[in-house]
Amino acid sequence: MSLLLFYTLSWFGLMAIAILNGMFRVMTYGRFMPEIRGHQLSTLTGIALTGFFVWKFNLYYPITSIRESWLIGLIWLVMTILFEFGFGHYVMHRSWEFLLRDYRLDKGRIWSIFLIWILLAPYIIHHYF
């Protein structure tokens, strides 16, 4: 199996981490803080957890080039956005307006920072670690 395909499939691990991270927020600290703070904390813990996952994964299956790292990040970004909007709208029946609210940096919503991280993480891990 090619390394690119292997990393594409590893996105499902990232998805599992994101889902578990969100569930943890809802079942624990999210009950005791304003929703926006829970969203922000969850986004930051998601960045840390996925960073650890990518770092650990890269130890066993090293990314071989800068080009490959950017391609992996782009694939992960597209898969994440497609999942977010596809699952959110067509399965969870969320409105497009509701789904887009997490992109409102001016309202303290920092989800887009997570998406930037997903794009950059393979490059950063490959290049610096």
- Domain extent, residue 122, equals 3-128
Taking the CA atoms of the chain, what radius of gyration do you get in angstroms?
15
Q: Alpha-carbon distance 96 to 77, whole Å? A: 19
Burial classification of residue 93, based on how many CB atoms lie within 10 Å of its CB (0-12 exposed, 13-18 middle, 19 or more buried): exposed
Please report which confidence band the pLDDT of residue 59 belongs to, taking 50, 70 and 90 as the band edges. very high
CB 49, CB 83: distance < 8 Å: no
Please report which confidence band the pLDDT of residue 67 belongs to, taking 50, 70 and 90 as the band edges. very high
Average pLDDT over residues 67-93: 96
> In total, how many domains does the chain have?
1
Average pLDDT over residues 54-76: 96
- Report the amino acid identity of residue 105: L
Q: Alpha-carbon distance 25 to 30, whole Å? A: 5
Q: What is the rounded average pLDDT for all residues in the chain?
A: 96
CB 89, CB 21: distance < 8 Å: no
Q: Alpha-carbon distance 17 to 14, whole Å? A: 5
